[in-house]
Chain A
């Protein structure tokens, strides 16, 4: 549902269909990470998503509790991931490639993954 909703909102924000599709994929990855890593795949936890539409672009905040995000600032290295037979970590790479900004913060026990896509970016 969140994928379709995000694609719809990005389209309403006048992103081209291909970009709207990519933004929705980035949100899919962000929410999947939260459910898998912060909530340990528990199905009854809350994830709140806020959309801020502006002339310059779209800002999306994924808010959640649970375990803090384990996200380093390093760009994941695909060759190293293959050698170590890792199956995870690609989601963050996708998010950072698609969005212009991906920022994780924590305040008052609540975590936030804030993502921004400017309208003029590729």
Chain B
């Protein structure tokens, strides 16, 4: 079984999940557990940093799909950043790149979360 690691930390009010390795059906429970923990702790601005993610299947993408509505209803979002070309293309194959916000790097994503909308 290929390895998968997940760690998380708060960065300027954003819960960042760092995924590393191979995320498939065998590993997806750990990803879901951590994502749910973030949401249950009322962190609705969630960034998935996939800089070290080498492979993802529909199981991993399905977890993001299963919680995005709840997070957005609470005024937050799940954004993704720093994906390599292959992983980004996998998201693109199912049309996720039109529905979710993919950002080039973590700093840009954090800034996007914390950007105050202009007032009228």
Give A contacts to B, CB under 8 Å. 18, 21-22, 25, 28-29, 32, 35-36, 78-79, 81-83, 85-91, 93-94, 97-98
Which chain A positions have C-beta within 8 A of B68? 82
A90→B25 contact, CB < 8 A = no
A53 to B73, CA, bound (A): 49
Is B34 among interface residues, defined by CB-CB distance under 8 A?
no
Which residue, of B65, B70, B86, B89, has the highest number of chain A Cβ atoms within 10 A? B65
Which chain A positions have C-beta within 8 A of B59? 32, 91
A32→B61 contact, CB < 8 A = no
A88→B24 contact, CB < 8 A = no
A22 to B93, CA, bound (A): 10
B93→A32 contact, CB < 8 A = no
Which chain B positions have C-beta within 8 A of A98? 93
Is B14 among interface residues, defined by CB-CB distance under 8 A?
no
Which chain B positions have C-beta within 8 A of A28? 24, 57
B93→A85 contact, CB < 8 A = no
B58→A94 contact, CB < 8 A = yes
Digitize B53-77: 1 where CB-to-A-CB distance is under 8 Å, 0 elsewhere. 0000111011101111110000000
Query: What's the nearest-Cβ distance from chain A to residue B4, in Å?
Result: 14
Give B contacts to A, CB under 8 Å. 24-25, 57-59, 61-63, 65-70, 86, 89-90, 93-96, 99
Which one of B58, B66, B89 contacts A91 once the chains associate, using CB atoms below 8 Å? Answer: B58
A35 to B116, CA, bound (A): 47
Interchain Cβ contacts under 8 Å between A and B, 17 examples: A18-B86, A18-B89, A22-B89, A25-B57, A28-B57, A32-B25, A82-B65, A82-B99, A83-B69, A85-B69, A90-B65, A90-B94, A91-B57, A93-B94, A94-B90, A94-B94, A97-B93
B65→A86 contact, CB < 8 A = yes
A83 to B65, CA, bound (A): 9
A33 to B94, CA, bound (A): 17
Which chain B positions have C-beta within 8 A of A93? 58, 94
Query: What's the nearest-Cβ distance from chain B to residue A83, in Å?
Result: 6
Nearest chain B residue, comparing its CB with the CB of A98: B93
A59 to B8, CA, bound (A): 42
A32→B62 contact, CB < 8 A = no
